[in-house]
Amino acid sequence: MKAQSALEFVAEARTGRIDLEENTHKILDKVFASEKYNFFNSVSKDLALHQAKELNAKVKSGKASGKLFGLPVSVKDCICVKGIESRAGSRILSGYLPVFDATVIAKAKAEGAIIIGKTSQDEFGFGTFSANAGLGFKVPKNPLDFERACGGSSGGSAGMTAFADFPHVSISESTGGSIACPASFCGVAGFTPTYGLVSRYGLIDYANSLDKIGSMGKTVSESSLLLEAIAGHDEKDSTSLNEKISFSPAKSPSAKGMKIGVIKEFFGQGINSGVSRIAWDSIKKLEKEGAKIREISLPLNAKYAIPAYYIIAMAESSTNLAKYCGMRYGAHESLSGSFNEYFSKVRSCNFGEEAKRRILLGTFARMSGFRDAYYLRAMKARTRLINEFKTAFKDFDVLVNPTMPVPAPKFSEIEKLSPIQQYAMDLCTVPANLAGLPHISINAGLLQKMPVGIMFTAGHLQEERLVQAASALEALK
């Protein structure tokens, strides 16, 4: 029997045919039963049951409405939920209980979402495999193979979405590929919007000029449903765009007539041959359905996107993390010594190794005498990389490439990779993120029984084209 989709569930919940309190109890039991996979940093049981009770009352009073009515929604740990410990996967934020909801949480609640918990991630988003968990945090395991990674940094979101045998979506976040990567490794649909289309107010930032809140669902329509609910202008976010975008897939999705560019460099060196073959098989399916396929070269992005991204991301993260000093919230120590001694002790004891590495590298890039040589040059390079994409979109509706160069690796394999090798794994996802472009990763097939993702990228504010292409491919499975 086919599992009920999120859209079907919401439609049924609005009619009152589902007792949402009873259903939420069952969902929470399954969440606690999944504990060995480490998908959650915290489960918001009391909040979820309180919301379910309120929604049941709305049904009885004839006021049941909302795009997410009664739907269980998990939230990446770096997004603030009022009264629920929100730590961005870091011990330095232990005990932090936000006194407000992030805008996306307020929007989701207003649409009837039931918040079931905060999902695990790399500390502050610093990683590709969710293996850089903060001190005291557990690493999420891939639900398809316990010995493999979920991907990062939104690993818990993707893992739970793939694991759930009930209607569920997850609010996630991407800086350099943190939605697309885990979506690929877990075989779900991960949708990253245009930068600024979804408010970042209430997000515990990694890098302000790069961070984007997005969505995950089992299908394109489910991830689109969530993104439609949380998108929109927000005066509390100075980077928020005042644009209305359609995310709804067509009833009969078709790629006929679409011009699709295949990024040549992202099928080259470093890409697993099996991954490349599966991606090309999907592309040929779209061509058979009437899409116009042609290879395109993005030489600047292939060569410079990763170094530019890491300079910018680390410089901005070192600034953002400077506020965690053990004085106002989160982890703290007994007051002793000078401010610098106290500050250093708190940070040394509570940041993980990867967080320390990025703080040091980012601080170096911002130092007097180095800022012009590194950070500002990286920002200028970013402009050229964006322009290369803009030129490409004069000829194509969407661009396509494998999401990740390999299927989800085993933890034993990750341990053998150097930090530089791990950063290089982001080749296929970083360029679109650096340019602030919308992109979506969906499952293209299986390699050695593990999912392989394919990623579509569109021009700024062209989410509708993404939905069209991804839905068309999804329908051909």
Residues classed as catalytic: 76, 153, 178
Q: Cα–Cα distance between 258 and 255 in angstroms, integer? A: 5
Is residue 257 exposed (0-12), middle (13-18) or buried (19+ Cβ within 10 Å)? exposed
Q: Quick one: tokens of 134?
A: 């903060």
Do 161 and 218 form a contact (C-beta atoms < 8 A)? yes
Nearest Cα neighbor of 274 from 440, 409, 477, 446 is 446
Q: What are phi and psi of 176, to 5 degrees?
A: -130, 10
Question: What letters, b where the CB count within 10 A reaches 16 and e where it falls short, cover 344-359?
Answer: ebbbeebbbebbeebb
The upper half-sphere exposure of residue 100, i.e. CA atoms within 13 Å in the direction of its Cβ, equals 8
Mind giving me the DSSP string for 25-87?
HHHHHHHHHTGGG--EEEE-HHHHHHHHHHHHHHHHTT----TTTT-EEEEETTB-BTTB---
Q: Cα–Cα distance between 107 and 113 in angstroms, integer? A: 9
What is the phi-psi region of residue 452: left when phi exceeds 0, alpha when psi lies from -120 to 50, beta otherwise? beta
Q: Cα–Cα distance between 456 and 445 in angstroms, integer? A: 15
Q: Quick one: tokens of 293?
A: 């396929």
Question: What letters, b where the CB count within 10 A reaches 16 and e where it falls short, cover 87-123?
Answer: bbbbbbbbebebeebbbbbbbbbebbbbbbbbbbbbb
Q: What is the DSSP letter of 90?
A: -
Q: Quick one: tokens of 439?
A: 């992109």
